[in-house]
Chain A
Amino acid sequence: MNTIPHITRTDRRRALAAAMAAHGIERLVLASTGLHMIDLPNPLLHLTGFRSIGPALVTFDRHGDITAMVMPADDAGRAARHFGGDAAGVDEATDILGHMSSAPHTATVGFGALPHRLAGSITARLGEDARSFDDAFYAATSPKLHEEITAASRATAIAEAGYEHMKALIRPGLRECDLAVAVNLFMKAQGADDSFLMLNAGPRADAVMPSSERPLEEGDLILVELSPSVEGQFVQICRTVAIGEPAPEIAPGYELLVQAMRAGISKVKPGVRMGEICGAIDDLLSEAGFAQYSRPPFIRRRGHGLGAGSTHPGDVAVDNDTALEAGMVFIVHPNQFLPTTGYMMCGEPLVVGEAGPLVLSSREARLDVVTP
């Protein structure tokens, strides 16, 4: 039976405390920029579940005690309720310094993304031995919590509903951006708290990208990646839709991508390197004669981690040596430019189970055709 470990936030904190002990770290300072992006790690959110409005810091010691400093100041009450204790609120980033003190055996996480003046000032305050703990932090806390996987499942259902809604709205003359807004708002009405939606169309595309004001036309292929989040947990599905009967070479090209995706997903199980998943996809496409299109600039990655603060295990890329663990969540998407078809997209989010992949979407990608 293929199962997923039931991990709680307490488990994650214990795992982190153990990693700190192994590295001789007594205190961690974790930073959030306040930006919530699909591919921007947010260690503060990952550890605590708190989504800050602006830059924020928490300190976490090996005994599990947490203190928080948030911006703006009027968010301190919300933070205090979340953390079950005091939280300091400040309006100026430099005021955070008043709440920081030097302590031996302190390390930092997420400081590389902080505004440089703030990062520099805090690092100076923490003391010379404060060092980055980013890699060890994400490695120790990579598997998703039970509550995060539940949110990811819900987000995937919303993405699939959004896709069906999108197909129902498609008509020649509708601008890409208006379709994107409608799909975004629909998914939010279904319970998504944010959405990263790239959608573009044309008779032949080189890539997916943010929507334009171009009206849809019969003969277009619509490329779309729907990435809603629930409780901050982003997922993604990648799809391709033809408006009207597609050219003869489109369907076999798309079927090749779906086969490549299946080849990649079939490799997923604990202990496998991420690079092997990418390799399985590349091999299939190379055997079909598209080896030269399976490397930059045509392709950079075949998927990526998904999360609410951590994108570990990183990219589905040949040079990613991260070994999979049960409970990791990521998407496999071969999304590929083929000389015969242009760029097309297919991709499914999954959880790594104890015995293999558990795909979160209920229906595998296929080339859908909308008749105008």
Chain B
Amino acid sequence: MLMRNITLPTGPYDWHETKVPRRIYDARLDALRAVMREGGLAGTILSGSTFDDGAIAWLTGFTPKLGPAYALVPLAGQPRLLFSGGPGMRPSAQRLTWLEDVAALKSLTSDLSAWDCPKPWGLVEDAGLSAVAMHAIGHVHGGHVHGGMPTDLTAAMDRLRRVPEAAVKPLIHRGAEILGLIETSLIETAAPTRWEARLAAEQLAFDLGAQDLRLRLSAIEGGRPEPVDPDGAALPEQAALTIALRADGYWLLGHGWRGPRRPRPDTAGLARLAAGVAPATLGLGHIAPLGHSLVEPPLDPQQPLAEGQCLRVTLDSPTAPLSVLVEITAPPLPSGPRLLWAAAALAPQQSGLTGVRP
């Protein structure tokens, strides 16, 4: 989901060692190395950027803020984190990752050339990996006997990231709770302008512990929502709300609605969400995993859902989309999947979920 970025998020830490135990990262690193071993790879480059840092944040805890970052992961030995910024900024990066080998990125070409790791390498791309960076990676990797580009491990990494561990579920649940509070504030706001409503929501998000909040307050033009630049105009009586927030490294995104004439999407498939069911059979809209990336790719509609997955289901309607966030259970709870958040405009009986809003 495309949302206008903030040039530099400020706020409390988006990672803390006490919130995600080290054993979680050890297990993630082991899982990546198993993929590397299977592919005969001696090292892997993970790229991350301010556009998309899903993979690098999952593995290292670090979210790039000042520009791209790279994690260099050898099959054995310490991974290295390269961050954008001056060498003097190392403390600000070091405190936001469990990795011990942290250094300022000089240039991708020189840093990769200096990496003491045999080839061939794998590559986990972020969605924003630039043409210039890809050229540098290909140049360094292809300049040796193995030749060519590194093996693309992006899809394999996506599969590894798809089911969050039990230990991090409370972070996702808390993020969903903050999402609900932000949505409520935007529905109930008496702020005279869009801009003031936005600032109040930002203040609330930071007070609740989020580190990034991105909003689209879309007016309804020609029966469909259309983005409106933030300005001094009043918040429309009928507005589609797209809210994306990052809390403890996880992105929570939801589509809500402000106004009395609610969208009425088809929700019949919601109650059937369960492990072992393929999305293609549900008749629902866009289904994407909740994770460290705002631009997580949608699920394969033919691939059955897995127990423990946390998902955003975006329900299409002629007026505006609405979302629910759910955790997949097996077998389904009597009330359907575990509901983490649902757009307030979706009445429980309308959503097909008998549970109430959490």
Binding stretch for chain B, among A6-14, A59-67, A196-204: A196-204
**How far is B51's CA from A36's CA once the two chains are assembled, in angstroms?**
10
Least distance between A213 CB and chain B CB atoms (Å): 6
Check if B86 is an interface residue, CB within 8 A of chain A.
yes
Q: Which residue of B85, B87, B95, B227 contacts A74 across the interface (Cβ within 8 Å)?
A: B227
A24 interface hit (Cβ, 8 Å): no
Query: What A residues does B133 contact at CB under 8 A?
Result: 116
Closest to A74 in B: B226
Measured between C-beta atoms, what is the minimum distance from A296 to chain B in Å?
8
A169 CB → nearest B CB, Å: 14
Q: Is B134 engaged at the interface, CB distance under 8 Å to the other chain?
A: yes
**B199 engages A188 (CB within 8 Å):** yes
- Is the interface on chain B under 10, 10 to 19, 20 to 34, or 35 or more residues? 35 or more
Q: How far is the CB of B215 from chain A (nearest CB, A)?
A: 12
CB-CB < 8 A to A37: which residues of B? 5, 7, 50, 67
Are A75 and B227 within 8 A (Cβ)? yes
- Contact B2 A196, beta carbon cutoff 8 Å: no
Asked whether any CB of chain B lies closer than 8 Å to the CB of A138, the reply is no
Interface size on A, residues (CB 8 A): 55
- Selected from B66, B88, B128, B134, the residue in CB contact (under 8 A) with A33 is B128
Contacts of B221 in A (CB 8 A): 77
A194 contacts B228, C-beta separation under 8 Å: no
In the complex, A343 has a CB within 8 A of chain B: yes
- Name which of B10-18, B110-118, B269-277 contacts chain A: B10-18
Query: Do A197 and B8 touch (CB < 8 A)?
Result: yes
Q: Does A193 contact B (CB under 8 A)?
A: yes
Q: Give a binary string over A58-84; 1 marks a CB under 8 Å from any B CB, 0 the rest.
A: 000000000000011011011000000
Main SS class of interface, A = mixed
What residues on A are CB-neighbors of B226 within 8 Å? 74-75, 77-78
Bitwise interface map of B from 205 to 244 toward A, beta carbon under 8 Å scored 1, else 0: 0100000000010100100111111100000000000000
Please report the C-alpha to C-alpha distance between residue A115 and residue B154 in the assembled complex, in whole angstroms: 15
Residues of B within 8 A of A234 (CB): 7
* Min C-beta distance of B12 to chain A, whole Å: 5
Contacts of B8 in A (CB 8 A): 38, 195-198, 210
Q: Which residues of A contact B6 (CB under 8 A)?
A: 194
Query: In the assembly, what is the distance between CA of A53 and CA of B8, in Å?
Result: 16
Smallest CB gap from A82: residue in B: B229
Are A180 and B10 neighbours in the complex by a CB distance under 8 Å?
yes
Q: A74-B226, A75-B226, A207-B89 are in contact. List 14 more A-B contacts (CB 8 A).
A: A34-B2, A36-B5, A38-B8, A74-B227, A112-B130, A115-B127, A115-B128, A120-B131, A180-B11, A185-B202, A188-B202, A211-B10, A297-B88, A343-B88
Please list the residues of chain A having a beta carbon within 8 angstroms of any beta carbon in chain B. Answer: 33-38, 51, 53-54, 71-72, 74-75, 77-78, 111-116, 119-120, 175, 177, 180-181, 184-185, 188-189, 193-200, 205-213, 227, 229, 234, 297, 300, 337, 343
Which residues on B are within 8 Å of A, measured CB to CB?
2-8, 10-13, 50-51, 65-67, 85-89, 91-92, 95, 127-135, 195-196, 199, 202-203, 206, 216, 218, 221, 224-230
Interface CB pairs A-B, < 8 A, 20: A33-B128, A36-B5, A37-B7, A71-B2, A74-B226, A115-B130, A116-B134, A120-B131, A177-B12, A185-B199, A185-B203, A189-B196, A189-B199, A194-B7, A209-B89, A212-B92, A234-B7, A297-B86, A297-B87, A337-B88
